[in-house]
């Protein structure tokens, strides 16, 4: 279906240094029903996202 997704991420690539601890970012998605979810990554660890709705509950 229709929707939007946006990913931003950054990290530091160096020789002989692990990449994972340097990576941070955010993933945000919205579907056609206006439900949205945001997940974040800090130091290579992803947090769970909670689906929310921008529409009033009926």
Count other Cβ atoms within 10 Å, centred on residue 4. 10
Distance CA 29, CA 31 (A): 7
Sign of the Cα pseudo-torsion (37, 40, 46, 1, in order): positive
Q: Is the pTM here over 0.85, yes or no?
A: no
Q: pLDDT tens-digit profile of 3-55?
A: 999 999 999 999 999 999 999 999 999 999 999 999 999 999 999 888 887 76
Does residue 8 belong to any structural domain of this protein? yes
Residue 58 lies in a domain: no
Residue 52 belongs to a domain: no
Domain span at residue 11 reads 3-46
- Identify the band that residue 56 occupies on the pLDDT scale cut at 50, 70 and 90: low
The answer as to whether 55 is a domain residue is no
Domain count, the chain: 1
Residue 54, domain member (yes or no): no
CB–CB of 53/34 below 8 Å? yes
Output helix, strand, coil percentages for the chain, rounded to the nearest 5. 5, 50, 45
């Amino acid at each position: 279906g229709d929707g939007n997704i946006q990913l931003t991420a950054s990290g530091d690539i160096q020789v002989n240094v692990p990449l994972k601890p340097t990576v941070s970012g955010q993933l945000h998605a919205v579907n056609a029903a206006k439900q949205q979810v945001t997940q974040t990554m800090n130091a290579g660890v992803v947090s769970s996202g909670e689906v929310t709705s921008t529409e009033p509950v009926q």
